[in-house]
A = this chain, B = another copy of it.
C-alpha cells in the first residue's frame, strides 16, 4: 500500500540522503539530484527545517542573479546508540545524524554471559552515553550481534558459541529495559549499513567482510540491506572453497573459514588473506558488488596484508575485470563499524529510504 504519507516520507528521505553526503547544498542541487521540481523541494525543505533536521546556512552569490539560499544537515539534531555484542565485549557507540561517532565505550562481558547480564550492561552503558550532549534527541538503540537471529521478529535464535542464547526475544526485552526503540540485526549487516549510510546513494552494491572469531559478510544490494528469506544471509565463512580441504566445525570440508583459520593457526597470515581473497572474488563474481569493505578485529590486526591481498585478487583474478570492478577498502570506522552501523540502522529506519513496501499477503 502506498498513500500520500508514503510519498511524503519517500521524498523527505530522498532529500535527507543528499543532505547527508554533502557539506552544504541549495534548492537547485536537490531538485536536479532528485528530479523534484524546485517548488516541491521548497516544501520538503520547509518541513525538514521545521523538524530541525536541516538548517539554512547563508547564501551563495552567483555571478548574476539573486543569491541562492544554502542549507545543511544539522548533524546533532538526532542521535542513536549502537551496540556491538561480541563474545567477550560489549562496544557502545553514540552517532549523530551524519553518521559520525561522537562517543564510545567498551565493557568486558563475562564468559557465557546471559541475556540478563547483557541487558544490565546495556542499560548502564546506554544511560551513560545518553547523559551526554545527546540529551533527549535519541532516536533509538541498535544491537548488532552474531547470528543466527531473526531480524524480522527481533529474536536471537541460537547465537554462535554462546550458551543461554536460544530464542531470546532480545529486541522486546531491550525495549522494555531501555525505554527506547530497539533494532536487532546481525553484526555484519549492521556493519555494511554503516558504510552505506556514510557513503550515500551511489553506494548501491557492496559487501562488508568481517573476520572476527569467524568469517561473515554483510550485504548491501540494490541500495538496501540484503537479509534473505529468513534474515540469515551472510554466512559467508561456511561456503566451500576447497573440496578436499580440512574438516570444518559445521560438518563439511573446506569451508572458507576452516581453510582460513588453518592458515592463521600456522602463522601464515598472508596465506590466510589469500584464502579470504578467493572468497571475496567469488562474491564479486556472484553479486557484482562495486565495494568491498574489510573489517573485524582479527582482520584489522593485519589490515595491510589483508587489504593488499584482497585488493590484488579482485583486480587480477576476476576474469572479466572490465565489467566487474570492485573497490577494496578498510572501513573508515575501524573497530567501531559494527556498533556504529547498529546505530545507523535506527537512523536508517527512521530517516532512510523505505524499502519496497510490504508485499501483498
Contact = CB atoms under 8 A, between A and B. Distances in A.
Interface stretch (A73-81, A128-136, A317-325): A317-325
A285 B239 contact: yes
A202 B254 CA distance: 34
A286 B286 contact: yes
Contact of A227 (B157, B283, B288): B288
Given A222-B224, A222-B355, A286-B283, A33 B360 contact: yes
Contacts of A353: 356
A201 B323 contact: no
Contact of A356 (B2, B222, B239): B222
Please state the number of chain copies in the assembly.
2
A287 B230 CA distance: 10
Interface of A: 1-4, 6-7, 10-11, 14, 17-18, 30, 33-36, 147-148, 150, 157-158, 200-202, 204-205, 217, 219, 221-224, 226-236, 238-245, 250-252, 254, 259, 275, 278, 281-283, 285-290, 317, 319-320, 322-326, 353, 355-361
A3 B11 CA distance: 9
Nearest to A355: B222
Contact of A7 (B6, B18, B35, B235): B6
- Interface residues of A, dominant DSSP: loop
Nearest to A18: B360
Contacts of A224: 222, 356
A10 to B, nearest CB: 5
Given A228-B288, A232-B320, A241-B242, 8 more contacts: A6-B7, A14-B360, A18-B360, A217-B286, A228-B290, A240-B278, A242-B242, A242-B244
Contact of A285 (B2, B202, B229, B236): B236
